[in-house]
Amino acid sequence: MSDVSWVLKQFRVEGEFLNARPAGSGHINDTYLAQFQRAGLNVSYILQRINRHVFPDPPAMMENIVRVTRHIRRKLEARGVQDISRRALRVILAHDGSPYFRDPEGDYWRFYDYIEKAGSYDSLGSPGQAFEAARMFGGFLEMLRDFPDPPLHETIPGFHDGQKRLAAFQKALAGDPYNRAQAARPEIDFALAHAGLFDLLPDLVKEGKIPLRATHNDTKVNNVLLDETTGEGVCVIDLDTVMPGLSLYDFGDLARSTLSSAAEDEADAARIRVDMSRFEAILKGFLAAAGGILTETERSCLVFSTKMMTQIIGVRFLTDYLLGDTYFKVHREGHNLDRCRRQFKLVQSIMEHEERMEDMVGKYICIKLPTNYTN
């Protein structure tokens, strides 16, 4: 891998380089926090090496990100939002004007302003934080409602296509190259038994009942920054998968990652269960920002999408476990299997709470919620 301090010199940044260290807990890219000194002040940036095994076309992905961040910036300006430099990611260009740098080994790197005094959380401490995270992702969706043509590039084809994910799982299972299927029998059975969850949304799209939108597609809770002091939502990050998708992918993944107080790979399975006060907070936050743009069918599938997205991500963890952990970063043996178990445990808990969750949706979609946005 190219030397990080050398890579940093390839971008249009002024000041003297001080240091760089790994940052964040994302499963995909390599992220570094880099510090420079400029006019006697320390200024921070985020440098990322894009995972080229996951993203086949980084230039297309960066084109999406530049378009989306500019669109959001313009919306915020039009709405008179203060503090825009913290509320919209800013891509720093390389010397040749590209929004990325390709090193001699073929790796792609990108550079962002660092958003100060805000943090991301792998799991949330309170329903109040869940509300803020949901308000931010709902706001992101709402701001992209009129995203102009041409459509965004599909950075990972079939990313949330459950049938495709299931086929990949079945292929991994048939090959079982690491002899791991034996250790994952109950999870394999669960994946097969709930395969039907992947039929509904594609059918509704085909019938024209659910629109394709510009969506985030990776609304895991650690992809939003919350203010360190006030807890207020500051900025949605990790825009690698912004592309045409469904609002329900965004709601479902967000709910999956916030419904339980436990982390995605929590050791104690007993802690994985739906917390209704969190579901209420997620619903309120999401609908406050995006409720006005959702169609009736979209609103009627919010609970379903939570179950379906939890299932699909469980299947992806299981597939990666069977294939020897080549996609998601792992930090211990069996990590992907643990992650899969936790997702399937959550699917079970969602099924047990489904009726109450639906009742809660019914309660909120009848109420006209206030929105923070006027434009």
Question: Using CB under 6 A as the criterion, which residues of the chain lie in contact with ligand ADP when the complex forms?
Answer: 23-24, 26, 28-29, 31, 46, 89, 112, 114-115, 120, 222-223, 225, 237-238, 240
C-beta of 23 vs 195, nearer to ligand ADP? 23
Which is it for strands 233-236 and 118-119: parallel, antiparallel or unpaired?
Answer: unpaired
Q: At closest approach, how far in Å is the CB of 26 from ligand GN1? A: 4
Scanning the structure block, which residue is given the tokens 């039929």? 199
* Residue 26 binds ligand GN1 (CB under 6 A): yes
| Residue 16 C-beta: closest distance to ligand GN1, Å | 31
Answer yes or no whether residue 26 interacts with Mg ion by CB under 5 A.
Answer: yes
Q: How far apart are CA 292 and CA 370, in angstroms?
A: 10
Cis ω on the peptide bond leading into residue 150 (within 30° of 0)?
A: yes
265 binds ligand GN1 (CB under 6 A): no
Task: Quote the CA–CA distance of 165 and 159 in Å, as a whole number.
Answer: 8
C-alpha angle 98-93-114 in degrees, rounded to nearest 5: 140
**Pick 31 or 35: Cβ nearer ligand ADP:** 31
Residue 222 near residue 120, CB atoms below 8 Å: yes
Nearer to ligand GN1 among residue 132 and residue 253 (C-beta): 253
Using the minimum distance from each CB to ligand GN1, give the nearer residue, 27 or 75: 27
Note whether 307 binds ligand GN1 by CB under 6 A.
no
Q: How far is the CB of 223 from ligand GN1 (least distance, A)?
A: 5
Residue range at the interface with Mg ion (CB under 5 A); choices 135-143, 171-179, 219-227, 335-343: 219-227
Judging by beta carbons within 10 Å of its beta carbon (0-12, 13-18, 19+), is residue 33 exposed, middle or buried?
Answer: middle
C-alpha R_g of the chain: 20
Check if the beta carbon of residue 156 is closer than 8 Å to that of residue 241.
Answer: yes
Identify the CA nearest to 312 among candidates 223, 202, 194. 194
Least distance in angstroms from the C-beta of 278 to ligand ADP: 20
Is residue 264 a contact point for ligand GN1 (CB under 6 A)?
Answer: yes
Report the candidate in 16, 25, 21 with the shortest Cα–Cα distance to residue 43: 16
Q: Are 50 and 109 in contact (CB under 8 A)?
A: yes
What is the helix (H) or strand (E) element at residue 277, kind and residue range? helix 276-290
264 touches Mg ion (CB under 5 A):
no
| 46 binding partner (options Mg ion, ligand GN1, ligand ADP, none; Cβ < 5 to 8 Å by kind) | ligand ADP
Least Å from the CB of residue 328 to ligand GN1:
6
- Residue 264 interacts with which of ligand ADP, Mg ion, ligand GN1, none, CB < 5 to 8 Å by class: ligand GN1
Q: How far is the CB of 317 from ligand GN1 (least distance, A)?
A: 8
Within 10 Å of residue 13's Cβ, how many Cβ atoms?
Answer: 18
Binds Mg ion (CB under 5 A): choice among 48, 69, 223, 241: 223
SS3 302: helix
Give the one residue of 30, 142, 187, 218 binding ligand GN1; rule: CB under 6 A: 218
Placement of tokens 């379903």 in the chain: 304
Using an 8 Å Cβ cutoff, are 90 and 69 in contact?
Answer: yes
Q: Which stretch binds Mg ion (CB under 5 A): 24-32, 88-96, 150-158, 360-368?
A: 24-32
Q: Given the rule CB under 6 A, which residues bind ligand GN1?
A: 26-28, 54, 218, 220, 223, 238, 240-241, 264, 313, 328
